[in-house]
Amino acid sequence: MKQMTEAQLTELEQDLNAIRNDVLADLGERDARYIRRVVRLHRTLEVGGRVLMPFGFIPPVFVAATVALGLSKIIENMEIGHNVMHGQYDWMNDPSLHSQTYEWDTACSSDSWRRTHNYEHHTYTNIIGKDRDYGYAVLRLSDDEPWRPRHSLQFINYILLSTFFQWGVGLHELETERLHRREITLRSKLPFLKEFFRKGGRQAFKDYVFFPLLTFPVAPIVLAGNIGANLIRNLWSSTVIFCGHFTQDAETFTEEECWGDGKNESKGHWYLRQLSGSSNFTGGRWVHLLSGHLSFQMEHHVFPDLPAHRYPEISDRVREVCAKHGIHYNTGSFARQYGTVLKRIAAFSLPDRLRARLPALDVA
Amino acid sequence: MLARQNHSTPLQWLGRQLFNRDDASAFFDPLLARINPMWVQEYTPARVQRIIRDTSDTQTFVLKPARRWQGFAAGQHVNICVEIDGVRHHRTFSLSSSTTLWHDEGLVTLTIKRLPGGRVTNWLHDQLKSGAVVGLSEAFGDFLIPEPVRPILFIAGGSGITPILSQLKTMAVHGFRAPVTLLYFVRDHDHAIAGEHLQNLAALHDLLTVKIVASQGGSEPRYLTQSDLNEITDLGCRDIFLCGPQGLMALAGELLDAKGVSRDKIHSTYFSAPQTDLDSEDLGGKVRFARSNLDVDSTGDAPLLEIAEAAGLTPQHGCRMGICHQCSCRKTSGTVVNRLTGQASGPGEDTIQLCISIPQGPVSLDI
Ligand code: FES
């Protein structure tokens, strides 16, 4: 991470706070109208997808219904659920869009997500050992973790993780790696497991039991369509999220850097870490909407509770602040960023010595 | 607070399975609101039928609530919910119409005075047009006409007349057979809400006496006095209803005490005006944690999260610096100042972040 003096960090903090305050002062009608429109779009797609699905014996209808339902889940998870749970719309005082009560359409319960994502990941972004989102305790993505033989097959793990992403995220809080190391007991995780089975069961029930049974004669078609819709959502969200922190230039940190010598990390330092640890990708309006504006992951990480549709309009200012302070504004096309993610997964599946001999896999 | 909970359990169960929410029908609200806002399920919608100007700063809003609204008793209040600049605001007002109007025509009225600096009342006066739809809660409050019939003395000040207006209208329709006296204190006669209507009622019903007193008319302000009470026949056996500004209520309480009127004869209700001055000096105040049934005093700029923890509570939290929203909770009343923005909240129901909210005067929280 870039070395900055306390005075420079304070200046960085002030520069970013200025952007934040401008947006906060301007929140209102426009933001409310935006999120309501997205919610309407979600409802329309979900209702449309569910209604069309039983007619899926006509192939084009099957494709349309599956895509509609998949898109509805993507929009609900990314642009509505994730952002609402960050408190981006709490100021609207609308209980259906409130961070503490919102429950989203995925296997991970909102409560678990608020603990593991909003708190752990956003507070300890990319600090190895503290941010369990870094590699999801499944993948080795940096030198900070020593190589083990099992890592050589991590590409398969990556594909499995992406395919079953909602279940991976749902089980994230189980902390299997710590269970494995016997740092915690399964017993202490029972309340969480109960919550997981309830929420996961609910999701499985609706997509794999209720709607197929409701449309009995065409149950297999509806079941297949629902599986397809979940798959589309899983692959897309996992890809977007991987592009947010595991690209070539996204940095990792040590606890020492932030809290060494018993010091408390300053807000300016926290901002610096958020900027250095995240990465954006470019794209059209729809790409941003479907990624929940996590295509502006850097903006999201410095301002997690500003309405996400504001990120594109403040991105130039954030980029200027980065330039001013000599911080790399990590962005590129979706294909480029994703390419570096795949390269990182591949590179760190190899022992360090072997990797060093393959310049094509140089990611550091 | 506006939500209704009258779904059958199996349906509720299914709704939760399918839509991840307790109120499954409200899942479709975003679409329903587009087609017809009166179909919204999350709260009871009410359409503004007509707006009547009462005085220079008071208007009466005639509302037609969706038919599933459960009605009210004269003297009760409702919360209304309006969206101003993207933000939902809830405010409490008393219903000013007779219960008959609801039974016969499905209408209710709210008589609302513009509060200086009040965000919601001014918006209602300036922006709310007939045809618009607002949210309405079920009626609540126990400021009710006594049963069986007993003689009554009403003492009202300013817009405190509204619940009494509803009671008098309802009593007139139902032929209330006992002496009723109203002492109504207003700044000057132009500010008397429904003054003419009250005089007409008094002319029609010989058991009703109405006395409207202008407090600012003469050289000296004219407040409630002992002799006003002396004029009331058999004060001792009347039920007394007080509604108005805090000063008037306190004064009336003292005078009635001096007269030896027993406390349980006195019914009172009032809304204090929202605090408009945002002097950041006067931070701190009594905090009520309603669900834990705990009251604590706070001084200075301690945020609510620390106050709660000092009191032995363990509210959910994460970062303690305003980023993760783990600590968001419902504030049911009172004003808090946001440490990050320096902004004060409204006095009504709101969602706040405990770790960066500092009480400004008494606050009550749903934790
Ligand atoms: S504890 Fe994180 S926002 Fe209050």
Alpha carbon A107 to its chain centroid, in Å, reads 14
- Cα(B84) to ligand 1 centroid in Å equals 26
Amino acid at the residue A315: S
Sheet holding B152-157, edge to edge: B208-214, B180-186, B152-157, B239-243, B266-269
Please report, for chain B, how many H helices and E strands are present, in that order. 9, 16
Q: Is B317 in the pocket of ligand 1 (CB under 6 A)?
A: yes
User: Which one of B28, B323, B331 would you mutate to disrupt binding with A, by most A Cβ within 10 Å of its Cβ?
Assistant: B323
Residue A174 clears pLDDT 50, i.e. is over it: yes
User: Which one of A51, A91, A93, A195 would you mutate to disrupt binding with B, by most B Cβ within 10 Å of its Cβ?
Assistant: A93
Q: What is the dihedral of CA A104, A110, A116, A120, to 10 degrees?
A: 100
User: φ and ψ at A138, to 5 degrees?
Assistant: -115, -35
pLDDT along chain B (367 residues), means of 10: 57 88 89 95 95 94 96 93 91 92 96 90 96 93 88 93 95 92 92 93 93 87 90 90 88 91 84 41 86 87 91 80 81 89 84 92 91
Contact (CB, 8 A) for A218 and A269 = no
What does the angle CA B278 – CA B283 – CA B286 come to, to the nearest 5 degrees?
120
Residue A349 clears pLDDT 70, i.e. is over it: yes
pLDDT digits (tens, 9 = 90+) for A216-243: 999 999 999 999 999 999 999 999 999 9
Give how far A13 is from chain B: nearest CA, Å: 13
How far is Cα A93 from Cα B349, in angstroms, rounded to an integer? 9
How far is Cα A19 from Cα A317, in angstroms, rounded to an integer? 7
How far is Cα A256 from Cα A32, in angstroms, rounded to an integer? 42
CB atoms within 10 A of CB B151: 19
How far is Cα B220 from Cα B136, in angstroms, rounded to an integer? 42
Q: Concatenated DSSP letters for A150-198?
A: GGGGHHHHHHHHHHTHHHHHHHGGG-HHHHHTTSS-TGGGHHHHHHHHH
Q: Which residues of A touch B4 (CB under 8 A)?
A: none
Residues of chain A above pLDDT 70, percent:
98
Contact (CB, 8 A) for B272 and B247 = no
What does the angle CA B184 – CA B189 – CA B192 come to, to the nearest 5 degrees?
50
Alpha carbon B105 to its chain centroid, in Å, reads 24
Q: Is B340 in the pocket of ligand 1 (CB under 6 A)?
A: no
- Cα(A266) to ligand 1 centroid in Å equals 16
What do you get for the CA distance between the two ends of chain B, in Å? 15
| DSSP assignment letter at A263 | P
Q: Check residue B113 and give its pLDDT.
A: 92
Strand B87-94 and strand B108-113: the pairing is: unpaired
How far is Cα B337 from Cα B335, in angstroms, rounded to an integer? 7
Q: Which residues of B touch A210 (CB under 8 A)?
A: 17-18
Nearest CB to A93; choose among B26, B28, B88:
B88
Structure tokens at B190: 């132009």
User: φ and ψ at A358, to 5 degrees?
Assistant: -115, 90
How far is Cα A80 from Cα A308, in angstroms, rounded to an integer? 10
Q: Which residues pair with B182 in a beta bridge?
A: B154, B210
Strand B180-186 and strand B208-214: the pairing is: parallel
- Cα(B354) to ligand 1 centroid in Å equals 7
How far is Cα B45 from Cα B185, in angstroms, rounded to an integer? 34
Q: Check residue B281 and give its pLDDT.
A: 64
With left for phi above 0 and alpha for psi between -120 and 50, is residue B293 left, alpha or beta?
left
pLDDT digits (tens, 9 = 90+) for A133-168: 988 888 999 888 889 999 999 999 999 999 999 999
As a whole number of Å, the CA-based R_g of chain B is: 23
Q: Which residues of B touch A93 (CB under 8 A)?
A: 87-90, 349-351
Q: Which of A141, A126, A132, A160 is nearest to A361 (CA)?
A: A141
Half-sphere exposure at residue A55, Cβ-oriented, CA atoms within 13 angstroms: 9
Residues of B with CB under 8 A from a CB of A: 3, 16-18, 20-21, 26-31, 34, 42, 83, 85-90, 316, 318-319, 321-326, 328-329, 341, 349-351, 353
Q: Is B291 in the pocket of ligand 1 (CB under 6 A)?
A: no
Q: Concatenated DSSP letters for B80-138?
A: EEEEETTEEEEEEEEB-S-HHHHHHHS-EEEEEEPPTT-HHHHHHHHT--TT-EEEEPP
Q: Which of B151, B86, B80 is nearest to B111 (CA)?
A: B80
Q: How confident is the model at residue A341 (pLDDT cuts 50, 70, 90)?
A: very high
Helix boundaries (H) for chain B? 9-19, 29-35, 99-105, 119-126, 161-174, 195-204, 226-230, 246-258, 304-310
How far is Cα A22 from Cα A33, in angstroms, rounded to an integer? 19
Give how far A7 is from chain B: nearest CA, Å: 21
Whole-prediction pTM value? 0.87
Q: Check residue B263 and give its pLDDT.
A: 85
Examine residue B148 and say whether the peptide bond preceding it is cis (omega within 30 degrees of 0). yes
Q: Long-range pairs for A1-5 at CB < 8 Å and ≥24 separation?
A: A1/A251, A1/A253, A1/A257, A1/A272, A1/A273, A1/A276, A2/A272, A2/A276, A2/A325, A2/A326, A2/A327, A4/A268, A4/A269, A4/A272, A4/A325
**Contacts with A141 (C-beta within 8 Å, 6 or more apart), sequence order:** A134, A135, A246, A252, A344, A345, A348
How far is Cα B289 from Cα B315, in angstroms, rounded to an integer? 11
Q: Check residue A363 and give its pLDDT.
A: 62
DSSP E strand boundaries for A21-83: none
Contact (CB, 8 A) for B257 and B282 = no
User: Which one of B82, B319, B324 would you mutate to disrupt binding with A, by most A Cβ within 10 Å of its Cβ?
Assistant: B324
With left for phi above 0 and alpha for psi between -120 and 50, is residue B154 left, alpha or beta?
beta
Q: Is B322 in the pocket of ligand 1 (CB under 6 A)?
A: yes
- Cα(B194) to ligand 1 centroid in Å equals 49
Q: Check residue A153 and give its pLDDT.
A: 92
| CA distance readout (Å), A236 to A230, A231, A336, B190 | 10, 8, 16, 66
pLDDT digits (tens, 9 = 90+) for A249-278: 999 998 888 877 667 889 999 999 999 999
Contact (CB, 8 A) for B86 and B123 = no
Contact (CB, 8 A) for A153 and B361 = no
Q: Check residue A27 and give its pLDDT.
A: 95
What does the angle CA B46 – CA B51 – CA B55 come to, to the nearest 5 degrees?
135
Q: Is B358 helix (H, G, I), strand (E, B) or coil?
A: strand
How far is Cα B237 from Cα B234, in angstroms, rounded to an integer? 6
ipTM of the complex in this document: 0.88
User: φ and ψ at B166, to 5 degrees?
Assistant: -60, -40
Q: Check residue B342 and give its pLDDT.
A: 78
Q: Check residue A63 and give its pLDDT.
A: 98
- Cα(B316) to ligand 1 centroid in Å equals 9
pLDDT, greater one: A37 or A362: A37
